Amino acid sequence: MRRKGFTGFTLIELLVVVGIIAVLISILLPSLGRARKQAYAVNCLSNLRQFGNANQMFLNDNKTQMPFTNWGPNATWPNAKSGWLYEQPVTKDPQIVKTGAYWPYVKAIGIYHCPVHQTDATYGTGVTDKITSYLMNGAICSGGATQSVAGVTQCMIHKVNKFKPDDIMIWEADERGGSAWNDGASYPGETYVYDPKAPYALGLAARHGKTASILRVDGGAEWIDHEEYFRLASSPLRNRVWCNPLQPDGHFN
């Protein structure tokens, strides 16, 4: 029985309030977790949009010539010393992106990494995954193909009009293993690690579930489903990922 003039809660009332709060928390926490993951994913896609803007400005400043992909960790071609990501040779220092072709247009180290990218020596070779979460499609420089110019061997670097607008030039690469993290470029399937939770990834990141972010040649960014990417990467025909201008089928290895 409550004493006259006492306005506090009884123990039972307090337990009821605590129980209601616990139920509300259990309902809200999953929603907050999903919202946080969605925010990270949106941030990741925004990073690629900024690279898309940087590439458009780079094209304007370089007579529509695409940047070097950083194909090969110690490439020494005279026309490809500085690639989109860094100036050769590569190191694990994140500050090296300040020597890359995109840096004058972005000047923000944070956009080179997805906010939930796990960096660990067991992922890839543990080199460029310390620098970035994204790798450029090796097709942009025909997989390191060369040409002779005035007797000097140079890397094959193409004009943007050699590609279709929706060709994929950068993708969010697989963080779970493989050899792609030796430089700033990759090719479909290079980092393939079979994962029952993401069986079709074939080189794409799995950190956002069954989709990953990609950047198109026209500067637009979008999500691509793992299964769709797998279909493209497994195809013998020219498509958005196999887009080497030197070969009718777009392949280069």
pLDDT at 1 over 50: no
Q: Helix (H, G, I), strand (E, B), or coil: what is residue 61?
A: helix
User: pLDDT tens digits, residue range 66-95?
Assistant: 999 999 888 889 988 889 999 988 888 999
pLDDT at 64 over 50: yes
Mean pLDDT of the chain: 86
Q: Angle 221-96-44 (CA atoms, 0-180°, nearest 5)?
A: 25
Q: Are 32 and 87 in contact (CB under 8 A)?
A: no
User: pLDDT tens digits, residue range 163-219?
Assistant: 999 999 999 998 776 678 889 999 987 866 666 666 666 788 888 888 999 999 999
pLDDT at 4 over 70: no
This prediction has a pTM of 0.83
Query: CB neighbours of 49 closer than 8 A, spacing ≥ 6?
Result: 215, 220, 221
DSSP-assigned letters across all residues of 154-203: EE---BGGGS-TT-EEEEEB-SS-SSGGGSSEE-TTTT----TTSTT-TT
Dihedrals phi, psi of 205, to nearest 5 degrees:
-65, 145
Share of the chain above pLDDT 90, in %: 55
